[in-house]
Amino acid sequence: MSTCRGLYDPFIDPIRGIESIDDSGAMELTQCSLSQLPDLVGVTEQLESDELNTLVVSTVRELLCCPICHRPLVHDPAVVDTCGHAFCYNCINLGIENGCVPVASTVQVEDKEDEGRKEKNELSVVSEKDHHTCLSRHGRKQPRRRTRQRRRKFTCPVCLGPAHKWNLVRVRFIQDLVTDFLSHAALAEAFSTAEGENDVPSEVRTETICGDKKTLRRKEKIAKKHVEL
């Protein structure tokens, strides 16, 4: 497959514009491009209600969250300079050193669930004769072997490209960008309630809840100064 990096992507030369990269031998990416953040911000501002639809929430979660721990990238985010994927620094640092299981995207997880349901349906219509062939000598069903993914060292768990510790670059810009994006009340609420998880850091939620109160206090102070004058 190929990924497209937009004009807002800080990791490409702005003169070259849109760049196409061939990732045909890699896994499907779990993260969107950071260049999509301005467009997503515009989408959230145009919503009439405070409730975000499932598609927007899932897309934003894949964009703003670490693919390994699935928490927002507000705690020391780092980028693998060979491929541009962002992680929490501690997550990717340990993953590169100790090995990390490849990360499956949301689409891949849904496909596996569909395959599992199809297999169950196929087993339910198996004839009695075929059913007996699956029994062991003791009359018990033989357990099916599950394929286990092995851990890969010195590899990006998203695209399976080469990654070493010297390829990790801490990017404070991502932390500021994610924090600013999560300052939207609707988005912060969607993150805190999605799938029963509580992924939004407490400091971000506090800033979102108390934002209006701080603004009112500032206006009151300005008004008092004008009255005194």
User: DSSP characters for 122-138?
Assistant: HHHT--HHHHHHTB-TT
- Per-residue pLDDT 10s for the chain (229 aa) are 434 444 444 444 444 443 444 444 443 444 545 555 555 555 555 554 445 567 777 777 888 889 998 888 988 999 999 998 999 999 999 988 888 888 865 444 444 445 555 555 555 555 555 555 554 444 555 555 555 567 777 889 998 889 999 999 999 888 888 888 888 877 777 676 554 444 555 544 444 334 445 555 665 666 555 545 5
Q: Are 204 and 72 in contact (CB under 8 A)?
A: yes
- Measured CA to CA, the distance from residue 78 to residue 59 in angstroms comes to 20
Domain ranges (residues) in the chain: 2-201
Rounded to a whole number of angstroms, the CA Rg of the chain reads 24
Choose the CATH number for 2-201 among 3.40.190.290, 3.30.40.10, 3.30.300.130, 2.60.40.2130: 3.30.40.10
